[in-house]
């Protein structure tokens, strides 16, 4: 179910059954001459689509912008360095709205600057503020009450901001998902999900590229699909984990 396409009674039914909300978060920034500027949020959305197709969840609109610090390029090349303060305020209002609608599990699949990057920190702070607001309204000593009697029994997991592979299980010695800004990892993920946007002929010689693009030519669509599948399995397992309504 896509949130924007749901009718009010469908929202009410999802709330009653504690269906989780899932939303992607990424950025708009330069990822090299061969990739689209929406690479980060396109990857997050691709994993969310896979998850949405395999387990019940409400797919919410994406957070497409994030602080980039103009690390890779200038605005003329597609860089949008979104200030952290308004991003945090925007996220807080979105999270508040979901809580007011009645949703008890809100999950953000974030892909930009890694799990400790600026966007993740902004979203997690906004989540923390909303969780504190909700619990403060219950008065003092609410921790002494039976959790099942609380308006939101799963308050500590009400809003979760996690990275694309946060819930994936790696075997001992298994290769971790390659990411790298615009390099092999992100190139192959976009090859797998939006091949029409990739222009490998624009990369040029490896020696002339910045270090983070040196291995971009090694990406393959098949490997990209394998990693999308790997990440989606972890998120499905997390969303299907039952918690109190």
Contacts of 26 (CB under 8 A, 6+ apart): 38, 39, 40, 41, 42, 43, 44, 45, 62, 63, 64, 66, 110, 111, 112, 119
pLDDT by position in tens, the chain (length 245): 999 999 999 999 999 999 999 999 999 999 999 999 999 999 999 999 999 999 999 999 999 999 999 999 999 999 999 999 999 999 999 999 999 999 999 999 999 999 999 999 999 999 999 999 999 999 999 999 998 888 888 899 999 999 999 999 999 888 999 998 999 999 999 999 999 999 999 998 877 889 999 999 999 999 999 999 999 999 999 999 865 44
Question: In this predicted structure, what is the pLDDT of residue 206?
Answer: 77
Q: Work out the end-to-end distance of the chain between its first and last CA atoms, rounded to an integer number of angstroms.
A: 19
Pairing of strands 159-163, 106-110: parallel
Q: Spell out the alpha helix ranges (H) of the chain.
A: 8-16, 39-52, 84-101, 118-136, 184-193, 221-240
3-state secondary structure 182-243: CCHHHHHHHHHHCHHHCCHHHCCCHHHCCHHHCCHHHCCHHHHHHHHHHHHHHHHHHHHCCC
Chain-centroid distance of CA 60 in Å reads 11
Residue 243 has a pLDDT of: 55
Residue 106 burial (CB count, 10 A)? 22
What's the token pair of residue 105? 């599990």
Please state, as a whole number, how many other Cβ atoms lie within 10 Å of the Cβ of residue 30.
Answer: 22
What is the Cα–Cα distance from 122 to 85, expressed in whole angstroms? 8
32: which residues sit within 8 A by CB, 6+ positions away? 182, 187, 203, 209, 213, 216
Phi (first) and psi of residue 2, to 5 degrees = -95, 125
Kindly give, in sequence order, each residue whose CB lies less than 8 Å from that of residue 136, ignoring residues fewer than 6 positions away.
none
In this predicted structure, what is the pLDDT of residue 242? 66
Give how far Cα 33 sits from Cα of 74, 87, 156, 185, Å. Answer: 13, 27, 42, 15
Q: Please give the pLDDT value at position 244.
A: 44
Q: What is the pTM of this model?
A: 0.94
**Do residues 219 and 180 make contact, with C-beta atoms less than 8 angstroms apart?**
no
Domains identified in the chain and CATH numbers: 3-177+226-240 (3.40.50.10310)
Q: What is the pLDDT of residue 200?
A: 95
Q: Which helix (H) or strand (E) holds 65?
A: none
């Amino acid at each position: 179910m896509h949130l924007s396409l749901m009718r009010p009674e469908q929202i009410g039914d999802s709330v009653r059954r504690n269906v989780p909300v899932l939303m992607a978060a990424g950025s708009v920034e330069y990822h090299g001459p061969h990739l689209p500027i929406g690479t980060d949020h396109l990857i997050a959305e691709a994993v969310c689509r896979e998850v949405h197709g395999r387990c019940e969840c409400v797919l919410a609109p994406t957070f497409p912008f994030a602080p980039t610090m103009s690390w890779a390029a200038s605005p003329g090349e597609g860089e949008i360095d979104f200030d952290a303060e308004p991003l945090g305020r925007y996220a807080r209002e979105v999270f508040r709205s979901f809580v007011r609608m009645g949703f008890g599990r809100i999950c953000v699949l974030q892909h930009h600057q890694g799990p400790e990057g600026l966007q993740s920190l902004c979203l997690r702070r906004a989540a923390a503020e909303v969780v504190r607001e909700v619990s403060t309204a219950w008065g003092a000593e609410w921790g002494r009450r039976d959790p099942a009697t609380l308006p939101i029994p799963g308050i500590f997991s009400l809003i979760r901001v996690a990275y694309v592979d946060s819930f994936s299980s790696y075997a001992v010695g298994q290769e971790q998902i390659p990411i790298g800004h615009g390099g092999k990892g992100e190139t192959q993920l976009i090859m797998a999900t939006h091949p029409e946007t990739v222009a490998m002929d624009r990369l040029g010689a490896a020696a002339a590229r910045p270090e983070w693009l040196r291995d971009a030519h090694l990406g393959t669509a098949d490997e990209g699909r394998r990693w999308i599948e790997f990440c989606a399995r972890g998120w499905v397992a997390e969303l299907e984990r039952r918690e109190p309504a």
